[in-house]
């Protein structure tokens, strides 16, 4: 079916489902990964591995957001400019990843979760670069509205790292968790990027038929800098807790923390996934923005609420699969994280309104406030409440901001056009006069 034959509703549903399947499958297989790790590796090895993965993703995410924003927002309408935009984005992200990872190892203090010696250090830098490519290639697929490939890619990645985790447990008992996580990237990056550069981009250029649209430099810089500043806070909120736990409580506590944190925050990632699908669709079809927002809210409630109930009901029993120590340390943490999900949904929706209306100050303010509250409370609570303190801090931070933005959300949602400043033909990008 061609794009012209696909209704806005069909495209939004298919895009959302593709990304939801990808994230849901990744979350489930991610939990299985940590269950196997808990049984095959020592708690210290699991804790160190989870901390190194968190450090890698933190550094990679800190440099990849700018190209991801451009790909998500502007790639579809860029037309004949798309190949050049993708090449420049890749070059920037990979170069920045190498520089940031090197500076991190040289100047950020001791890293007890990374083995000493030159080879582990080079491996870590290479892993950050690979992770950047692996992540932004998904943004290219989203920007080109080719989301159907993402669940296939991510499912293969999850299955490969599960198999490696078992195979290398005896030969690499100290670093096997991290090695199993990054090795599949070497297998997947080449075919996925062959698909992007040899198939999808040429087809997109042919479809554009000489057309192209891209924001002017000043508007683009303002949008990127504004959203990037806010997203740094989101990045910190996703990766810093694991590093704080291993620093404050040790690698064993980090091992007990990892799986409940992954499960408890999975709904947050699903909400952001739906937001990304929405932004991509409104970018391609600006006139359907308000209707698309309402559909995404409905889908989120229909999918998220049953999932939340199931996870809360099974939490006390599910963690026992990892072992009694994991259940004892992680059950209350998981319940606190699940309790925060309704407030996370409010915050994600508010930020999505800000993205659609290009209100970058609001985006930064909300994300900064959430990160500041959660991480500050977490530092304070960890020594008193252990791993559970991280969940308490996450709940209190998300709830405080969610209740604060609720009145504004209700006012915006009731308006037919969502909010003053939500200009359907101007949302997200600036089109040439002949395309307005």
Each residue of 146-169: pLDDT tens digit?
888 888 998 999 999 999 999 998
Determine the pLDDT at residue 430.
31
**pLDDT greater at residue 91 or residue 38:** 91
Asked if 12 and 280 touch (Cβ cutoff 8 Å), the reply is no
Asked if 412 and 419 touch (Cβ cutoff 8 Å), the reply is yes
pLDDT tens-digit series, residues 378-402:
999 988 888 899 999 999 999 999 9
pLDDT tens-digit series, residues 412-424:
777 766 544 443 3
Determine the pLDDT at residue 24.
72
Asked if 48 and 176 touch (Cβ cutoff 8 Å), the reply is no
Neighbouring C-alpha atoms within 13 Å toward the C-beta of 307: 21
Asked if 12 and 152 touch (Cβ cutoff 8 Å), the reply is no
Position 16 pLDDT exceeds 80: no
pLDDT tens-digit series, residues 251-297:
888 878 877 887 777 777 777 777 777 776 776 666 666 777 777 78
- On the 0-12 / 13-18 / 19+ scale of CB atoms within 10 A, 155 is middle
User: Which of 94-98, 111-115, 275-279 tops mean pLDDT?
Assistant: 94-98
- Pairwise CA distance, residues 223 & 130, whole Å: 26
**pLDDT greater at residue 287 or residue 186:** 186
> Which residue is it, tokens 């895009």?
15
Determine the pLDDT at residue 223.
67
Instruction: Please give the average per-residue pLDDT across 201-226, as a whole number.
Output: 77
Position 5 pLDDT exceeds 50: no
> Which residue is it, tokens 């930020």?
351
Position 108 pLDDT exceeds 90: no
pLDDT band at 101 (very low <50, low <70, confident <90, very high): very high
- Pairwise CA distance, residues 176 & 115, whole Å: 12
Number of H helices, E strands in the chain: 15, 0
pLDDT tens-digit series, residues 23-55:
778 777 888 898 888 889 988 888 888 889 988
**pLDDT greater at residue 268 or residue 334:** 334
pTM value?
A: 0.70
Position 213 pLDDT exceeds 70: yes
> Which residue is it, tokens 């891209």?
214
Instruction: Please give the average per-residue pLDDT across 221-238, as a whole number.
Output: 71
Q: Which two tokens stand for residue 7?
A: 């209704």
- Residue % of the chain over a pLDDT of 90: 27
- Residue % of the chain over a pLDDT of 70: 85
Determine the pLDDT at residue 164.
94
Average model confidence (pLDDT) for the chain?
81
- Pairwise CA distance, residues 180 & 162, whole Å: 7
Position 129 pLDDT exceeds 80: yes
């Amino acid at each position: 079916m061609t794009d012209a034959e696909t209704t806005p509703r069909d495209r939004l549903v298919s895009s959302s489902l593709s990304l939801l399947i990808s994230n849901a499958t990744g979350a489930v297989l991610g939990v299985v990964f940590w269950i196997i790790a808990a049984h095959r590796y020592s708690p210290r090895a699991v804790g160190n591995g989870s901390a190194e993965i968190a450090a890698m993703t933190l550094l990679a995410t800190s440099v990849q957001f700018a190209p991801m924003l451009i790909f998500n927002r502007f790639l579809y309408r860029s037309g004949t400019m798309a190949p050049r935009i993708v090449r420049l984005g890749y070059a920037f992200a990979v170069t920045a990843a190498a520089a940031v990872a090197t500076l991190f190892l040289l100047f950020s203090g001791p890293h007890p979760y990374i083995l000493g010696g030159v080879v582990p250090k080079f491996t870590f830098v290479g892993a950050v670069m690979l992770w950047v490519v692996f992540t932004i290639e998904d943004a290219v697929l989203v920007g080109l509205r080719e989301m159907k490939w993402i669940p296939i890619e991510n499912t293969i990645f999850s299955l490969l790292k599960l198999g490696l985790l078992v195979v290398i447990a005896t030969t690499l008992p100290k670093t096997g968790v991290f090695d199993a996580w990054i090795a599949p990237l070497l297998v997947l990056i080449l075919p996925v990027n062959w698909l992007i550069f040899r198939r999808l981009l040429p087809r997109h250029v042919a479809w554009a038929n000489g057309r192209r649209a891209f924001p002017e430099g000043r508007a683009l810089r303002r949008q990127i800098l504004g959203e990037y500043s806010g997203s740094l806070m989101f990045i910190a909120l996703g990766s810093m807790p694991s590093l704080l736990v291993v620093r404050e409580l040790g690698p064993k506590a980090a091992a007990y923390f990892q799986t409940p944190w992954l499960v408890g925050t999975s709904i947050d990632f699903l909400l952001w996934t739906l937001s990304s699908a929405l932004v991509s669709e409104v970018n391609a079809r600006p006139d359907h923005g308000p209707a698309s927002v309402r559909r995404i809210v409905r889908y989120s409630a229909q999918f998220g609420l049953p999932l939340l109930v199931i996870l809360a009901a099974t939490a006390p029993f599910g963690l026992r699969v990892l072992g009694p120590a994991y259940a004892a340390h992680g059950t209350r943490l998981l319940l606190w994280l699940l309790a925060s999900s309704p407030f996370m949904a409010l915050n994600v929706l508010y930020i999505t309104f800000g993205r659609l209306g290009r209100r970058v100050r609001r985006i930064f303010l909300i994300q900064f406030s959430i990160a500041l509250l959660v991480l500050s409370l977490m530092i304070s609570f960890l020594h008193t409440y252990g791993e559970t303190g991280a969940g308490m801090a996450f709940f209190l931070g998300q709830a405080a901001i969610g209740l604060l933005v609720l009145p504004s959300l209700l006012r915006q949602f009731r308006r037919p056009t969502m909010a003053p400043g939500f200009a359907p033909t101007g949302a997200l990008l600036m089109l040439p006069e002949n395309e307005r």
